[in-house]
Amino acid sequence: PTYEQVCSGSTGHTEAIQVTFDPSVVSYEKLVHLAMDRLGENKYLLNQVGNDKGTQYRHGVYYHNDAQKEVASKIIDSFGDDCRTECKPAGKWYDAEDYHQQYLLKGGQSAKKNDNYAIRCYG
C-alpha cells in the first residue's frame, strides 16, 4: 500500500519502524523497554500516539519468534490492563516511499544517538 492509502486508515496497516539489531550489543528486552519508555503515556491510548489518531497509529511490538513474543508480552503486560500496546507476530513488511524515508532528518530534526530533543511532527 502507498503511504496515502495507509494514512486513510482503511488498509489495516500501521505506520511502524523495523529495527535490525545485534544481540551481542543490545538485547531485544532492552529495545522493547526503550520502545515502551518512548511511548510514555501514549501506551494507554488506543489507536493514537500524540496528536496522531487512527488505526494506522496504533502501537505495538511485532515479534519474529516465540522468544521475542515471551519477552515482549511480559514487558507489555507489566503496564497493566489499561495498556493498549499490542503484541502480535510481525507480518509482511512494506517500505515507505523514498520521500518518507528518513522523515525526521529531512525535516531538520536530529536522528543522532542520545539526542534529547522531542520529536516534532510537521506536514
Higher-confidence residue: 49 or 73? Answer: 73
**Closest listed residue to residue 13, CA positions, set 3, 23, 22, 27:** 3
DSSP conformational letter for 25: T
For the chain, give me the number of helices (H) and strands (E)?
4, 4
pLDDT in tens, 70-117: 999 999 999 999 999 999 999 999 888 887 777 667 776 766 667 766
Q: Can you tell me the distance from the alpha carbon of 33 to that of 99, in angstroms, rounded to the nearest whole number?
A: 30
Instruction: Map grid coordinates 511485532 to a residue.
Output: 62
- For 20-27, what is the mean pLDDT? 94
Q: Could you tell me which residue, 20 or 100, shows the higher pLDDT? A: 20
Q: What pairs with residue 49 in β-bridges?
A: 52
Higher pLDDT, 121 or 38: 38
Beta strands in the chain (DSSP E): 48-49, 52-53, 60-63, 86-89
Tell me if the pTM is above 0.85.
Answer: no
pLDDT at 55 over 70: yes
Rounded Cα gap, residues 53 and 38, in angstroms: 17
